[in-house]
Amino acid sequence: MTPEQQAYAEAARGFMPPEEGMALWQAAKDAPRGPMLEVGSYCGKSACYLGVVALDQATPLFCVDHHRGSEENQVGWEWHEPDLVDPAVGKMDTLPIFRKTVHDAGLEDSVVAIVGQSSFVARSWTTPLALLFIDGGHGEEPAAQDFALWTPHVQEGGLLVIHDVFPNPDDGGRPPYEQIYLPALASGQFEEVSSCGSLRVLRRV
């Protein structure tokens, strides 16, 4: 990652701390070369870290998000950002900012936005993934669905990266830990490779 790319990613809108972003970038470098996919893109911050590796490797990074925000992004919730509501529609819309982030980062040749419900997209998915990054809906149901519907597409030797994994309940919500991280390890199909903050990197055995 060039210092310019790193500075741009750090300045991009979003909540991922810089050290977790760099761990995400490192995971993309360590993964086999091939298509990558992230579930949950918001304004494109994590896509900056993954997208530079995708661009270098001339491989796509698919970014799945309905761009209407998670539960905790809605009006009245802790992580709401009022300027992200489209007044004409009365709903959140992060797609314009996502596009601007990807454009300004020079990543339009590698990053492909897929706008829709994660589970709906997953049911039509067939391409094996060198890296899957799950950072979408953090409720029990969406997290469980992301585990069930997306993780089978990680290729042998490919990486599964999960964000907002909090083993200690005092640190944050349960579903990424209980519905994705623990079941992945319990399945015997994934082993842990590394961790940074709330980011966990697993490899498909």
Q: Which residues of this protein are in contact with ligand SAH, per CB under 6 A?
A: 14, 16, 40-43, 45-46, 64-70, 94, 117-118, 135-137, 142
Please tell me whether residue 38 binds Mg ion under the rule CB under 5 A. Answer: no
What does 5 interact with, of ligand SAH, Mg ion, none (CB < 5 to 8 A by kind)? none
What does 42 interact with, of Mg ion, ligand SAH, none (CB < 5 to 8 A by kind)? ligand SAH
The smaller minimum CB distance to Mg ion, of residues 163 and 204, is found at 163
Please tell me whether residue 20 binds Mg ion under the rule CB under 5 A. Answer: no
| Cα gap 54→139, rounded to integer Å | 29
138 is catalytic: yes
Helix (H) or strand (E) holding 87: none
The smaller minimum CB distance to Mg ion, of residues 57 and 118, is found at 118
Cα angle value 191/194/197 (rounded, 5°): 125
Catalytic residue among 67, 138, 153, 163: 138
Cα angle value 61/150/42 (rounded, 5°): 50
What does 45 interact with, of ligand SAH, Mg ion, none (CB < 5 to 8 A by kind)? ligand SAH
| Cα gap 146→165, rounded to integer Å | 14
The pair of structure tokens assigned to 18 is 């810089």
Residue 150's region, left for phi above 0, alpha for psi from -120 to 50, else beta, is alpha
Which residues form the catalytic set?
138
